């Protein structure tokens, strides 16, 4: 792990730079990036599940996920606010999945894991499109920055706190390397990072100080839950990494596992508090 650190830092900086460019450009770059993440993430899931003899309907996942992305575009909610677009996409995906299995073998295990993949990837990622324009296109970039800062700070704090102080296992049956000390370090570092970040650009956020502190705590907990959920999937499949996407970081899913939980939570909190 020590030998991988320079490569992890370098690839993290490159990845962060590209991510910032995509988010700054807005939906014209975010939408194709989400399609790429869905394709590669779905492929990693498919390969992991195949090790347990479980099939994944990737074409249907990609089509349904694409429809969900399109139905998550803020412009639809601006012009037709009475239509629950994302729920419509979920309903269509369910009907399409049932129809496919009725015609192609009634494989309920494939149906269940494809539905899990739909909720895990496109359902969570679709909130990026809504967050980028919430509460408006100008402030949306700042709103979207909250889960990114929280997730990266939690990962960094947990990594170093666990490495230097880790003694007590957090979830030994799922991820033997994670410790309670690392988890606490991740929460503390995330809280401090968000505190410093929001203090620097305090005027752009339409929230009170206490609300931002609550965001910090909940987003850090959600980031760690996402990390453990990905570990559970890898444990189930019997693999160390979900794939080989970034040097020193493993697969794409290994990099976005925290964000898959912090993106939706941030949207729910912003809607509740604004």
Of 64, 61, 68, 67, whose CA–CA distance to 46 is shortest?
61
pTM of the complete model beyond 0.75? yes
Of 122, 118, 134, whose CA–CA distance to 266 is shortest?
134
Tokens of 131: 């967050």
Q: Report the C-alpha gap between 128 and 119 in whole angstroms.
A: 14
Q: Mean pLDDT, the chain, as a whole number?
A: 87
Residue 120 reports pLDDT greater than 90: yes
Distance of CA 256 to CAs 42, 69, 147, 249, Å?
13, 17, 11, 11
Residue 1 binned pLDDT confidence (cut-offs 50, 70, 90)? very low
Ordered by start, the domain boundaries in the chain are 4-273
What value does the mean pLDDT take over residues 111-140?
Answer: 91
CB 167 within 8 A of CB 179: yes
Distance of CA 272 to CAs 38, 107, 144, 207, 267, Å?
28, 40, 16, 11, 9
Location of structure tokens 């030994």 = 172
Crossing angle, helix 5-25 and helix 27-50, to 10 degrees?
140
171 - beta bridge partners?
Answer: 175
pLDDT computed for residue 67 by the predictor:
96
pLDDT computed for residue 122 by the predictor:
96
Question: Strands 175-179 and 169-171: what pairing?
Answer: antiparallel
Return the minimum-mean-pLDDT range out of 8-17, 96-105, 213-222: 8-17
- Residue ranges with strand state E in the chain: 169-171, 175-179
CA 39 to chain CA centroid, nearest Å: 15
């Amino acid at each position: 792990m020590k030998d991988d650190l320079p490569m992890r830092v370098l690839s993290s900086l490159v990845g962060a730079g590209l991510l910032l460019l995509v988010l700054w450009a807005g939906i014209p770059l975010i939408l194709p990036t989400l399609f790429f993440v869905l394709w590669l993430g779905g492929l990693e899931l498919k390969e992991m599940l195949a090790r347990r003899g479980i099939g994944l309907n990737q074409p249907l996942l990609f089509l349904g996920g694409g429809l969900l992305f399109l139905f998550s575009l803020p412009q639809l909610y601006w012009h037709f606010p009475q239509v629950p677009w994302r729920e419509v996409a979920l309903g269509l995906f369910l009907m399409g999945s049932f129809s496919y299995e009725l015609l192609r073998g009634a494989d309920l295990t494939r149906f269940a894991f494809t539905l899990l993949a739909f909720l895990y990837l496109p359902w969570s990622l679709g909130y990026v499109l809504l967050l980028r324009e919430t509460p408006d296109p100008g402030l949306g970039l700042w709103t979207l920055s909250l889960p990114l800062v929280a997730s990266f700070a939690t990962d960094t704090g947990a990594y170093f706190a666990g490495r230097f102080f880790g003694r007590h296992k957090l979830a030994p049956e799922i991820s033997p390397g994670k410790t309670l000390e690392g988890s606490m370090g991740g929460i503390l570092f995330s809280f401090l990072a968000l505190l410093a970040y929001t203090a620097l650009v305090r005027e752009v956020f339409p929230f009170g100080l206490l609300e931002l502190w609550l965001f910090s705590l909940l987003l850090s907990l959600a980031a760690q839950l996402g990390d453990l959920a990905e570990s559970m999937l890898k444990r189930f499949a019997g693999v160390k990494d979900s794939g080989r996407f970034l040097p020193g970081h493993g697969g794409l899913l290994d990099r976005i596992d925290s964000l898959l939980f912090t993106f939706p939570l941030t949207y729910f909190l912003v809607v509740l508090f604004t």
